[in-house]
């Protein structure tokens, strides 16, 4: 049974998350969506991190460039006798196959497995990852002494060339891996049975659809749910899972006996009445805080695992773009100002210099979700103390347009439990981000890195015409962020006047 089925590490981990997803990877791979442009960038970040980790072990032999699996397996066995660090060493045994990021020779006949991750902390799923590797290597006759996890040190500060010894942390996970290892064999047998079946197993939707990763089949499996379904309930999904187990799918059908929190009660009321919930008193209090002129302001930032500039930490947010709309009165015509960096030189000081000219010295600075803008501004003040006075004055003037929605002082069922600007804008105005090629902040950051030649490990740049096209898309996206806030505020004011 299942003798022609090979379970790789990635398929094994998929099976741990969901056996239905695993079945599709084995039997109907064409039905699993490919990673999109943004997710491919995230994978490329992991590849780049892996390359830097190899520098921790000079003299190592890299097998990763061998494309043919059979050749790679044979070369791994051939090189074991040389007792040198091996990168991307691979083994197979019966129905399993695995590669190790780094294999280190120890003592006379043993090896250590070093797993490299681009995250900044250990995670439980990494134990399953390494346990499967150890299972495969030991089944193939290679003795493993210890297992290590190497991950990003987020306190490392770049000074000149990247120092791998400072960039990474390393922790011994042997004990935890061995505890996890005990179940690998049984799980492999279960997966082989699943893979040999003619049809995918029936798996009830739940937390595993998004944990530890969003499953590529989520849309396929969740397609039967109504638009305003119980998984849109605000907060953790325990209540939704409980309701689903009782056969309740729509928020409007939740029985009164259920104990819902205040925000969930508002969702239920809106679902039943099909009307927005508006707390005019609280919204009026918010509006009275505004001081004209209003500066609607939004940053776009990127962050990379490997710091690009001196003085920067891994994953530190680097603002490369902003948009500002200025209103002298609520019904007045807005003036627009923006900044978008060119090239990949550190854009922060130039951005601050421009910002000084565009935000004035009085009037509310209106943002959406102030924690983000304030934290980026504080990081800028640390890096450029000459601008601290300016930055402190901007922070003092910030008004957060998110609050009326985050507090559910306004809520419409079409928001589906979300108070993000992407959900609020179409709920309260006739505008939306639908159909935009660049339609969220993560995509904006990835596209910016792409036009600067930092999208993949080859550092290749797109053609000039493509660069200009994407720059226009970036400006259009960021402009909608701030222009959309004007429409949201105007709509809120109208709600208080009804």
**CA-closest candidate to residue 366, choices 320, 336, 318, 326:** 326
Please check whether residue 150 is in contact with residue 165, taking contact to mean a CB–CB distance below 8 angstroms: no
Contacts of 213 (CB under 8 A, 6+ apart): 17
Burial of 103 (0-12, 13-18, 19+ CB in 10 A): buried
Helices and strands of the chain, counted as H and E runs: 19, 13
The whole-angstrom separation of Cα 52 and Cα 245 is: 47
Distances (CA, A) of 92 to 22, 250, 333: 19, 48, 67
Q: Which residue do the tokens 């501004």 mark?
A: 377
- Pairing type for strands 365-367 and 294-302 reads parallel
pLDDT of the residue at 1: 40
User: Under CATH, which architecture does the 9-196 domain have?
Assistant: Alpha-Beta Complex (3.90)
Tokens of 249: 């799918």
316: left (phi over 0), alpha (psi -120 to 50) or beta: beta
Q: Which residue do the tokens 């100002």 mark?
A: 337
Contacts of 67 (CB under 8 A, 6+ apart): none
Q: Which residue do the tokens 């707390």 mark?
A: 279
- Backbone φ and ψ for 250, nearest 5 degrees, come out as -95, 145
β-bridge mates for residue 318, sequence order: 302
- 0.85 cut: is pTM over it? yes
Tokens of 300: 């776009």
Please check whether residue 318 is in contact with residue 302, taking contact to mean a CB–CB distance below 8 angstroms: yes
9-196 and 281-497 in the same fold: no
Distances (CA, A) of 19 to 199, 202, 240: 12, 9, 22
pLDDT of the residue at 2: 40
**CA-closest candidate to residue 264, choices 381, 408, 164, 370:** 408
The whole-angstrom separation of Cα 31 and Cα 381 is: 49
The whole-angstrom separation of Cα 365 and Cα 342 is: 26
Three-class SS of residue 3?
A: coil
Show me where the domains of the chain are located: 9-196, 225-275, 281-497
Please check whether residue 85 is in contact with residue 118, taking contact to mean a CB–CB distance below 8 angstroms: no
CA Rg, the chain, in Å? 26
Tokens of 111: 């090896």
Tens digit of pLDDT per residue, the chain (498 long)?
445 899 999 999 999 999 999 999 999 999 999 999 999 999 999 999 999 999 999 999 999 889 899 999 999 999 999 999 999 999 999 999 999 999 999 999 999 999 999 999 999 999 999 999 999 999 999 999 999 999 999 999 999 999 999 999 999 999 999 999 999 999 999 999 999 999 999 999 999 999 999 999 999 999 999 999 999 999 988 999 999 999 999 999 999 999 999 999 999 999 999 999 999 999 999 999 999 999 999 999 999 999 999 999 999 999 999 999 999 999 999 999 999 999 889 999 999 999 999 998 999 999 999 999 999 999 999 999 999 999 999 999 999 999 999 999 999 999 999 999 999 999 999 999 999 999 999 999 999 999 998 877 666 778 999 999 999 999 999 999 999 999 999 999 999 998
Distances (CA, A) of 383 to 207, 298, 315, 395: 40, 20, 15, 16
Q: What's the topology of domain 281-497?
A: Nucleotidyltransferase; domain 5 (3.30.420)
**DSSP alpha helix (H) spans, 140-183:** 164-167, 174-181
């Amino acid at each position: 049974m299942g003798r022609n089925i090979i379970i790789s590490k990635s398929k094994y981990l998929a099976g741990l998350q969901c056996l239905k997803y695993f079945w599709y990877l084995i039997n109907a791979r064409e039905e699993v969506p490919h990673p999109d442009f943004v997710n491919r960038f995230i994978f490329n970040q992991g590849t780049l991190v892996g390359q830097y980790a190899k520098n921790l072990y000079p003299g190592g032999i890299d097998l990763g460039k061998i494309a043919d699996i059979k050749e790679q397996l044979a070369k791994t066995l051939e090189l074991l006798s040389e007792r040198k660090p091996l990168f991307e060493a691979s083994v197979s045994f019966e129905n399993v196959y695995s590669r190790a990021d780094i294999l280190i020779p120890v003592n006379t006949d043993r090896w250590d497995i070093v797993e490299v991750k681009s995250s900044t902390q250990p995670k439980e799923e990494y134990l399953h990852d390494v346990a499967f590797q150890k299972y495969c290597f030991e089944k193939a006759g290679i003795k493993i002494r210890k297992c290590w996890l190497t991950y990003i040190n987020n306190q490392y500060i770049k000074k000149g060339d990247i120092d791998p010894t400072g960039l990474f942390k390393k922790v011994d996970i042997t004990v935890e891996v061995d505890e996890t290892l005990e179940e690998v064999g049984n799980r492999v047998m279960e997966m082989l049975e699943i893979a040999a079946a003619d049809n995918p197993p029936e798996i009830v939707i739940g937390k595993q659809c998004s944990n530890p990763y969003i499953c590529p089949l989520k849309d396929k499996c969740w397609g039967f749910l109504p638009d305003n379904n119980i998984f849109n309930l605000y907060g953790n999904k325990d209540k939704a899972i409980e309701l689903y187990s009782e056969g309740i799918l729509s928020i409007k059908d939740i029985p009164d006996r259920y104990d819902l929190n205040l925000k969930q009660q508002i969702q239920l009321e809106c679902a039943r009445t099909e009307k927005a919930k508006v707390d005019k008193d609280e919204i009026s209090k918010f509006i009275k805080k505004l001081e004209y002129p209003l500066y609607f302001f939004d940053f776009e930032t990127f962050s990379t695992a490997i710091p690009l500039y001196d003085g920067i930490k891994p994953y530190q947010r680097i603002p490369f773009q902003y948009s500002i709309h200025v209103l002298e009165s609520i019904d007045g015509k807005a003036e627009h100002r923006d900044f978008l960096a060119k090239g990949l030189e550190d854009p922060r000081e130039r951005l601050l210099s421009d910002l000084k000219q565009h935000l004035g010295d009085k009037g509310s600075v209106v943002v959406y979700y102030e924690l983000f803008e304030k934290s980026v501004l504080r990081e800028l003040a640390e890096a450029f103390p000459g601008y601290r006075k300016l930055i402190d004055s901007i922070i003092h003037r910030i008004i957060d347009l998110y609050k009326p929605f985050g507090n559910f002082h306004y809520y419409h069922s079409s928001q589906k439990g979300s108070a993000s600007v992407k959900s609020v804008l179409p709920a309260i105005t006739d505008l939306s981000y639908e159909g935009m090629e660049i339609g969220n902040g993560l995509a904006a950051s990835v596209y910016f890195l792409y036009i600067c030649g930092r999208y993949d490990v080859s550092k290749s740049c797109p053609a000039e015409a493509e660069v200009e096209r994407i720059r226009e898309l970036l400006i259009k996206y960021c402009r909608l962020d701030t222009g959309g806030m004007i429409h949201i505020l105007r709509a809120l004011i109208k709600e208080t006047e009804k």
